[in-house]
Structures are given as structure tokens and as C-alpha cells.
Chains A and B, each alone.
Chain A
Amino acid sequence: MQFDDQGRVNKSKKRAVFNQPEAKNRVELFRHLPQYEHGSQLTDLESKFLELDSMHPAVYKVGVQYLAGDVTGGNARCIAMLRAFQEVINDYSTPPGKTLVRDLTAKISSYVSFLIECRPLSMSMGNAIRFQKSRIAKLPLTLSETEAKAALCNDIDRFINEKIILADKVIVRHAATKVRDGDVLLTYGSSCVVEMILLYAHELGKQFRVVVVDSRPKHEGQALLRRLLAKGLSCTYTHINAVSYIMHEVTRVFLGASSVLSNGTTYSRVGTACVAMVAHAFRVPVLICCEAYKFHERVQLDSICSNELGDSNDIARVPGRPDVNSMDNRTNEKNLQFLNLMYDATPSEYVSMIITDYGMIPPTSVPVIVREYRREYLLI
């Protein structure tokens, strides 16, 4: 839904579970994206906890975790959501006069719209929900309710195991072959697959060092850095404004992705495109590590038409540094608009190879995989 369409926004507000006041000062170019006042969102949602009778507590908990930022990262959000849906299915019982297929699908749709209110869905979550709904729709009518519920929970387990966990193992094995002794590997932000690759290559005994590039406001690289250091890898830590200075030492760049689109564009954390471009200028190969379930048939040419806007207070202030906060009270000034983008689009020219669980493919082969392997949501 485009958020500059006032009529539809008002309609969706009436169905909304909790009230979110919209941010007042928004950048004109991004008016089609939702942006809310972040200060009161969590307290509003929490105070409504006991009134939400129709909401399953597991789904509510996941929603609060998304809103508070307790759970971030495509895979983690997807797994958390699917586990919550498993609990929903386990606790579900068909009301009299309704069919399981239609009623459960309606329930899941309502929970999904609640989760969207908490935080817009990532593409991996969208694909997982589509898979879930298609499995519910394909349930044979002869099954009893308990059998149907068991089959659905089983499907969710298989999805998580095969599409995420096994896929990650395959990616790690492929990518570890690309790491040689003496390499300097650069990564940006914190991707769980890239972390697994680095740890696995280290366990295999390869000698390499890692450069972790990080950026404001989230500083996601710091958590990754801590975990790598705990395992004994030698790391360098820098911010994205220095990436062109450090790139001349680097031999390979490993990046994670939130999604890969059909024209080979990688949709990932903001800053990835910058890192990929600098690497391309220095002729350093860029490898994107992404599970196949995150591929999407959409085509996106820029980072504007679809994105997510974060909290503008995060860029206005530096936590723990009250002396640097000259921007802090200016969020309501008319001449000043804050823009905190969360995602960006890396064009396919900057990407050398995409490592997926279907193998190592060039970016142009993504639509082939989407077409061939996703048509019926085959499970391996």
C-alpha cells in the first residue's frame, strides 16, 4: 500500500490494532512509505496487551520484539514468525460452521497485518507467508483437524530446516571454497550467513583476516565483531566512511542480503551498495550470500520505490554523547527533515557472484531460479 494515498491510509487505520501517530516532518520523496513517531509506539502497544483478545500471545510477543528491535535480521525474523505461527496452529481449533482452510487463512492474515503494523515485512517473511498460505490451501479435505494441524506444523519445520538451516550449511560449504590462505575478507554489517562462513573457514584452518565495516546508527557490525573475536579470528574494524581507504588491502568482499530481485539487484542493509561500488572500483570480487527462499520476482531499479524508514531520532542523536546532540530537538522544524533509510539496492554490475543453496550463480540467473524452483514451492 502506498502511504501517500490518504483514503487507503485512513481505511487501514480503522482496522489497525494499535494507534500509531504518523511522523510530522517527512521527506517528500518518501511519502509513500510509512513513517511513525517511534517514541510512543511501544508504550501504546504494551498498554493494549490485555485488550487484544483475538491476538495469540506468541504472535503478540513476536510483534513486540520486532517493534522494540529485539529481533533483527531476515532469517531471525522469519524463524521467529514461523515458530509463532506453529504455536498458533497448535492452539487452533476450528469454530463451528467454518472450514479449517478458510478460517485459519483468515486468522493468519490478521496476524500478518498486525506484524506489518509493528514493522514492515521483509521479503523473506513475505515468501514464507506465501508458502504457508499455499500449504494451508493445498490441504486435502479428507484430513481430520488434528492431522491437518500436524501436517501444517510439520511443513513449517521442514521449511525452516530445508530452506534456512540446510541452505545455510550448503552456502557455507560453497563459500568456504572461495576463501584461500592469505585472504583479507571484508564484510559489512552483520549477516548471519557471512558469520557462519567466516567461522567455518576458520575451523577448516584457513589463514585469513577479516575487515568488518560498520555504520551508524545501528552499529550492527559490533556484535559480529565480538563474536568473531571470541573465536579467535583476527579482525579490523572500521566505519563506512573509510571503506575506500581500506579497500586496497581487501581480496574478497562477502555481503549478506535481505533479498535478491529478478534483475539481479540485491536489496540489503543501507550501505551495502556503497561497499559493493567501492569494491568494484578496486576490482575486488563481491560475493553475495543469500538463501534461495529470499529471491523475489519483483524488479526494482532504485532504492526509492520500496524501502523502510527508521526512527529519525536515531540519526539525530548519538547515544551516550549528550554534547553532540545539537540536532536532538529539531525534529519538528519546518526546514529540516530527517531521513533514516534502512535498505538500499545494489545493482547487478557490482556483484560478481551470488552463493545460494542451489550453487554459485551469476546475478543474471536469479530469474531462472525463481521461475524453475519456486513455481510450486517444492521442498527438496
Chain B
Amino acid sequence: MDFQVVVLAGGTSKKLVPLVSKEVPKALLPVANRPVLSYVLEQLELSNIKDLIVVVEGADAALCVGGWISAAYVDRLHVEVATVPEDVGTAGALRAIAHHLTAKDVLVVSGDLVSDVPPGAVTAAHRRHDAVVTAMICSVPVSGLSEAGSSGAKDKTKKPGRYNIIGMDPTKQFLLHIATGAELEKDTRIRKSILRAVGQMDIRADLMDAHMYAFNRSVLQEVLDQKDKFQSLKQDVLPYLVRSQLKSEILINGAPQGQQAKENGNDKVSYRILANASTPSFHELYALGPNGSAPVRRTHKCCVYIASNSKYCVRLNSIQAFMDINRDVIGEANHLSGYNFSAQNNIIHPSAELGSKTTVGPHCMLGEGSQMGDKCSVKRSVIGRHCRIGSNVKVVNSVVMNHVTIGDGCSIQGSVICSNAQLQERVALKDCQVLSLSTSVFLSLSSNEYL
């Protein structure tokens, strides 16, 4: 179908600092005991895509990711892992691999996206309108824990400072305005020409950019070449294309759009028959000169695909998101995890050992070879492989990665314990993250500290 897929797997992200390390880049963070990149790759494999490019920042991270991919997907997908220098941003990463892109359109997916929206839908919407860029939009996830141990009273009163403002036309097919995150402190500016051309704009603050884009390749390469300062697709390239959609300065397919030489009158007539038969979008109406004559202004279309509410779509870009995704993938969105659930609605690996009187609640996961002592209780948590958990341990709403040793009498709530950590006896952790070097923890920590 003439589409090339690029997965931006990032490197070691700063926002996830205690969790990521040199051995565990962001793309390989475990969600329900599978690396988060595997969700993207599974989704692409289901859509019958065989060739893709995975871009990783930093040579060490690229080695880890490449090694994992070649082990896991050796016959199923043909993946090319490209390394780019660190901190070039998503746009810089695409600039670096621009010579690999040959197809007519490029689908750019972020490697930390966990969703079951079929990428075919985004590409179909892109082709249907001959758009220059199509972005996938999903609802903002409701974050925070529903059970006990939510992030402390002081956090409840603080509203999330990041907003996403998305403006669409009434048919919800075209993207008219997009503004995300930090720049939205007080007000947002909307192009008057766009508003006048379309007539009615719906502005939503409950939707966010899911970081799956379909780009027209020549346009993308042209924008990246001309605008050197652009670092990020989400913050720079996409808003630029959306802002300039009615005053297009880009050349589509190598020829200025409005001046395609019509060789004879017959082409014009057939073009007019086709144009009259379909309801024109506001771009075409705006581009027409006075009295509806031939196009005088150049426009390009930015389309949007809204993920339906029945689909799950979340990005792993913060520690809170990491906990939420883990909870959801074994909870509500458990079709994503690909595991079979037992009768009590949890996943316990056959080789895991449970002590006597140990309860594992619903929506939990116990990895391979893990051992739990007596009288433990696990609620809504993910426990990785080969963990040794002592007796009388309570694990609630947490993520415990592989090879962790937890002593007796510990209480872990709302925390993340990375691989190879050791906890001594009677440690109480609440909302913390424990680093993956082999630290021994023998203090009680609470509330968002990390060690």
C-alpha cells in the first residue's frame, strides 16, 4: 500500500529516570512483563506490515533494543534498527533516517504507545483525503489510582498543568488547530483565516495527540530540510503544518499544488465533473478564486483520526502513566496483554510458587519462577520473573520487576521496584520508585521519593 512505518523508540528518557537505565531503555520498560515496544510491534504485525524501521537514540540503547527485537521477532518482522545521536528530538531522528524513506507516505509511531487502534484506520483516513498529515487523537486518560494509596492529599488539589487544545471542523475530519503542553499557560492563538474559511471550529480540551502520524513523505522531507530548527514532531512540525494549511508554502509531489498544468480543456472538464460531484472541503472552497474560478491559493489538508472510546490508547511518558498502563493492561484492557486469564481474573505463571494463605487478587500478574512466602497479599499488581518475596508481604497497586528480593513483612503500595533490587525486612514503601542497581533498602520511604 505504499506506506513505510517508522517507530520512534526514544532512548533513555529523562521523565522516567529512576526506571530507565543503560540496560533498560525506555522502549524496553516492562508493561505486564512485556517490553512496551512489543505492543507497538504486535499491532503492526497484526496489520500485516512486514518491514519497519525502529529509530533509537544512543548507541547503548540501540544495542539493547536491537538485540531484543532480533530475538523476539526474528522470523515475523523485518526490522531495521537505526541509531541516532541523543537529544535530537523526534524531528531530528527523522532527519537522520530521511534517506531510508522511499514510499509515498510514512507512518510514524511512537514506541511508547500502548493501544489497540488499528494503524490502518489512520492511513486510510490519510489516503481518503489526500492529506499532508493525519494525526491520531485519543481521549486524555483518567490518571490516578482508584483504590487506596492515591498520591497524597496535596496532589489531589493540584490540577494537571498540561493542557491539550485541539480544534477540529464540525465533521471531525480536519485538524484546524493544535496546541499542547507547556505553551498553554494563559491563552492560545487561533488563525483567523482558518476560522473564517471553515465557519465553525470545535475546540476540545479533553483530547490529546496520541503520537501516531501519517505523513506525506515528500512534504515531510521538505519541511524537515527547510526548517532546521524543528526538533519535535509534536511541538514543531505538526503545529506548523496545521497553521499553514491555508497558506501552503510546501510543494506537493514536486510541483506547486495549485498550478498543476492542465494540458487540455478535457482534463479541466473532468476535474470539474469530479469536483462538482463531491462536497468540497473548506480547503477547496478557500482555494478558489472569486466566482469559483480556478484555484488561486495553495492549501494542504491536515486530517485527524479520532480513536473511538472503545479502544485503549495511552502513552508511556511519565511514571504515573507507567503505573496506569500496567494496571490497565491487566485490568480493563486485558485483551492487549495477550495472556489468558485464569478464573480469578489474574495471570499466574505455572512455575510461580505461592506460599500458604497467600492471596493473589484479581487483575494481578505473577511472572515465571517467582516465589511468594506465606500470608502474602497481592492486589492489582504486576510481579516480574524470578522474584523472591518473603512472608507477610503486602503488594498493592505496584509494579515489581524481575529478580527482586523482598524481605518479610514489607508493605509496598503504589510503587515501582526495578530489577535486581533488594528490600530488607519490614520496609514500607508508598508511592516510590526503587532504582535498579542492587540497592538494599532498609528504610521506609513514602510519597514519591526514589532511591
Chain A residues near B (Cβ < 8 Å): 43, 45-53, 55, 57, 60-61, 64-65, 68, 70-73, 75-77, 79-80, 160-161, 164-166, 168, 190, 192, 195, 223, 227, 230-231
Contacts and interface: CB of A to CB of B under 8 A. Distances in A.
Given A70-B128, A79-B273, 14 more contacts: A48-B118, A49-B123, A50-B119, A57-B1, A57-B2, A60-B124, A60-B127, A71-B278, A72-B278, A76-B278, A165-B269, A166-B266, A195-B276, A230-B292
Chain B interface size, under 10 / 10 to 19 / 20 to 34 / 35 or more? 20 to 34
The 3 closest A-B pairs by CB, nearest first: A76-B277, A49-B120, A46-B124
Contacts of A68: 128
Contacts of A55: 1
A50 B3 CA distance: 8
Q: Per DSSP, are chain A's interface residues mostly helix, strand or loop, or mixed? A: helix
Contacts of B124: 45-47, 49, 60, 64
A259 to B, nearest CB: 17
A109 B292 CA distance: 39
A79 B274 contact: yes
Interface string B314-341: 0000000000000000000000000000
Nearest to B275: A76
A165 B1 contact: no
B97 interface: no
Contacts of B121: 43, 46-47, 49
A192 B266 contact: no
B49 interface: yes
B276 A227 contact: yes
B309 interface: no
A50 B274 contact: no
A80 B47 contact: no
Given A57-B1, A165-B269, A192 B277 contact: yes
Given A53-B48, A230-B291, A61 B128 contact: yes
Interface in B249-276: 266, 269-270, 273-274, 276
B273 A51 contact: no
Given A53-B48, A227-B292, A76 B1 contact: no
A72 B274 CA distance: 9
Nearest to A71: B278
Nearest to A74: B277
B279 interface: yes
B291 A231 contact: yes
Given A53-B48, A70-B128, A161 B266 contact: yes
Given A47-B118, A47-B121, A231-B291, A53 B1 contact: yes
A77 B276 CA distance: 12
B125 interface: yes
Contacts of B2: 57
B140 to A, nearest CB: 22
Contacts of A72: 277-278
Interface string B275-318: 01111000000000001100000000000000010000000000
B339 to A, nearest CB: 24
7 contacts: A43-B121, A46-B128, A47-B120, A47-B124, A61-B128, A80-B274, A161-B266
A76 B274 contact: yes
B49 A50 contact: yes
Contacts of A168: 269
Given A53-B1, A68-B128, A75 B120 contact: no
Contacts of B48: 50-51, 53
